[in-house]
Structure 1
Amino acid sequence: MNHCHLLHIEFEYDGHKQIITPVLLQDEQDLILVDCGYPNFIPLLEKAALQNGIAFDLLTKVIVTHHDMDHIGSLAELKRKYPQIEVIAHEREVPYIEGTKKSLRLEQAESTYDALPDEAKPQAEQFIQFLASIETVSVERAVSNDERLPWCGGIDIVHTPGHMPGHISLYLSSSKTLIAGDAVVMEEGKLNIANPQYALDLDEAVRSVHRLLSCDIERLICYHGGLFPGDAKKALLELARKYER
């Protein structure tokens, strides 16, 4: 029994309706959450799990694709409420999640602050304060590219840097499913690079799209956009070519 459950979480952020799609992976021994939303999202995660017939107190692990606020915002709170969970992330992300290095997104926001017009600075200050408030948490297991985790029929780590240096996607060969994280997003039915203007290395992000093409993909799940409805490999190839023009 290996199941992949998409958690459709709808909410309002900064005055706009948003949707994210964390994923629950389940087998006979483990219940694994992939990414966990903004701070205070535990009730939304628990409700979405129950809608899939799953009790969240069975959670054993959380795999973090990267340390952006909408992916680790509830991680420390989850660890307090469910202390049995093991936190897993790429080795390059560990110091940012644990707080031994400053968040790269916080560094990015701080570095652009002085160039902003005065009228934009109050909102930027609020954003910087919010990023600085994200709680840190210990990572129990650091992973690397091409590593295979033994749960849920095998979870292959695909290092997909660009959006963040330690960003990972997950490939489930048993169901030919790719969990992309923010390596790609779905916008109006099409794939795109996630917020290309904020990618820490856009060229690397495009190379990561090529890396995803090495997987035999039948289902593609984007954190922003959910399940891609069309031919995922064809769409990834078109996206890569778009940025090569």
Structure 2
Amino acid sequence: MMEDLVAQLSSNGVSLEMLTGIIITHQDIDHIGNLSRILEINSRIKVFAHSDDAPYIEGKIPLLKPLPKMIEAFGANFSRNGNRIDHSVADGEQLDVAGRFIVIHTPGHTAGHISLYHPDSKTLIAGDAMVVRGDQLLGPNEAQTPDLPEAYRSLAKLTSYDIQKIICFHGGIFDTDANQWISKLASHVEDD
């Protein structure tokens, strides 16, 4: 998995040594699995995450969802030793990265889950707040979301942003009537 990350960076003319920061959307292993190795290679990287997920990321408490098969997939490379959070992000905070990103606290999938909105491109990095399957935008993976009602309340927060493109960790990019789809998903909380 580390090889995939290095290859993706390289294909864009970037190396791990060039990185100055990493924003962690939440504490699941498939989002933090390479962090300790990355920090070994480049200890100057500043790590950003929400404080509610920081103790999981840093290894102070067990992962909320340890997912043994996922840990096995990372093999000997998975460790939380050396993981650190340098900056705890807050809802509404603006990060001076690639122009500007707005942090949106979207709990439910984990307590400290965040999404990132890039106003210049009207793009939302959703982490695991939503997934794409086929040509549909869906809510969070129910089996991996401990507080599903909270996750749908979080989606309602997204309706106040002008979103044209959504990047979901699971499923990729969704760019067809994004705001309408988010509104439809957010209405799920009203149906409960």
Which TM-score applies when normalising by structure 2?
0.88
The within-5 A match list for 1:185-224 is: 185-224=131-170
Q: Which residue of 2 aligns with 1:72?
A: 32
Q: Which residue of 2 aligns with 1:96?
A: 56
Deviation at 1:229, TM superposition (A): 3.1
How many residue pairs are counted as aligned between the two chains? Answer: 186
Deviation readout 1:161-182 (Å, 9 max, x if unpaired): 0000000000111221110000
Helix, strand or coil: the match of 1:105?
coil
Paired with 1:58 and 1:128, the residues of 2 have a C-alpha distance of: 28
For the pair shown, which has the larger CA radius of gyration, 1 or 2? 1
The within-5 A match list for 1:225-236 is: 225-236=171-182
Structure 1, 208-217 or 50-59: larger mean CA deviation? 50-59
- Of 135, 158, 180, the match for 2:79: 135
Helix, strand or coil: the match of 1:104?
coil
- Of 45, 48, 52, the match for 2:5: 45
Helix, strand or coil: the match of 1:152?
coil
Q: Within the alignment, does 1:81 sit opposite 2:9 as a pair?
A: no
Tell me the C-alpha RMSD between the 2 structures. 2.0
Q: Which residue of 1 aligns with 2:100?
A: 154
Paired with 2:102 and 2:70, the residues of 1 have a C-alpha distance of: 34
Amino acid in the other structure paired with 2:104: V
Amino acid in the other structure paired with 1:209: L
Whether the 8 Å contact between 2:107 and 2:151 is mirrored in structure 1 is: yes
Q: Which residue of 2 aligns with 1:178?
A: 124
Paired with 2:47 and 2:116, the residues of 1 have a C-alpha distance of: 15
Deviation readout 1:54-75 (Å, 9 max, x if unpaired): 3342111110000101000000
Structure 1, 64-73 or 81-90: larger mean CA deviation? 81-90
Deviation at 1:189, TM superposition (A): 1.4
Deviation at 1:199, TM superposition (A): 0.8
Whether the 8 Å contact between 2:138 and 2:185 is mirrored in structure 1 is: yes
Q: Which residue of 2 aligns with 1:3?
A: none
Paired with 1:86 and 1:66, the residues of 2 have a C-alpha distance of: 16
Paired with 1:99 and 1:51, the residues of 2 have a C-alpha distance of: 31
Paired with 2:49 and 2:125, the residues of 1 have a C-alpha distance of: 14
Q: Which residue of 2 aligns with 1:61?
A: 21
Deviation at 1:226, TM superposition (A): 1.4
Helix, strand or coil: the match of 1:214?
coil
Amino acid in the other structure paired with 2:35: L
Amino acid in the other structure paired with 2:60: T
- Stretches of structure 1 that go unaligned for 5 or more consecutive residues are 1-40, 110-125
Whether the 8 Å contact between 2:153 and 2:189 is mirrored in structure 1 is: no
Deviation at 1:128, TM superposition (A): 9.1
- Percentage identity across paired residues of the two chains: 39
